[in-house]
Amino acid sequence: MKILFIGDIVGKGGRETVKKVLPDVREEYSPDLVIANAENLSHGNGVTPDHIEEMQKAGIDFFTSGHHIWGNKNGVLMLDDPDFPVLRPANYPSPDTPGRGFQIIEDGMGNRLLIINIQGQVFIKDHVDSPFKIIDEILEATEDENLSGIFVDFHAEATSEKTTLGLYLDGRVSAVVGTHTHVATADARIFENGTAYLTDAGMVGAYDSSIGVKTDLILKKFLTQMPTKHEPETEGKMVFGSVLIELDEKTKKALDIKQIIKIT
């Protein structure tokens, strides 16, 4: 089974880049499933049903997110719909939080992939439960499922937290890929016990920008320390950050991991 995971898609520029680049990537690498992080999909803050549908038509099968998923009420209202293909981080502490943090989906060959969306605690303001504890509970709850693989999107700031969770899960899940920083890291590898790992997949958004946001706005914020509304950059060169992971469906271990980064 081959999984293509796309990093944080940022606003209109990111969506247009997905529509431009993804068809060629799908043709070249023939992934069985395409997953993307969508927390910044709609103007950099949350999702809308229309934008999710737009990305599905472009070739994305399922979506993870992060703490910005709450930024658009139209998307939040859809999170409890079991047919809405978007996860929110699993470790929000209240059972009343909309949505779900994990789901099993199938590819066209009947392979069953468990997707887990989890959020870090370090340097992120939301007071979520321990990702280590919650992911243990999810793995225990799904241990009797006939799975072909387990994919984890760890939405976190600190590289140390991401790496530690990856090592903690080595041999227990198929892949751990980080999101949130919008900057692709150069440490794609397979751990000793068969788990593919990458600290951050990067983003789909403006290449010459402040992680997808108009640079002048962020520069003003750094110079003045005044609150600044983020505005996604839609002009100029765009980057498509993603990673391709190949799994052995019988062992659920990773066979290969390859970063795919396109500048357009």
Which residues are tagged catalytic?
68
Nearest residue to 46 (alpha-carbon basis) of 21, 82, 9 = 9
**Do 170 and 147 form a contact (C-beta atoms < 8 A)?**
no
Whether the CA torsion 106, 109, 110, 113 is positive or negative: it is negative
Q: How far is CA 188 from CA 25, 71, 169, 180, in A?
A: 19, 31, 16, 16
17: its two tokens:
């880049």
Exposure b/e, 4-17, CB count within 10 A at least 16 = b:
bbbbbbbbbbbbbb
For 3, what's the count of Cα atoms within 13 Å in the CB-facing half-sphere?
35
- In this structure, what DSSP letter does residue 130 have? P
Whether the CA torsion 213, 217, 222, 228 is positive or negative: it is negative
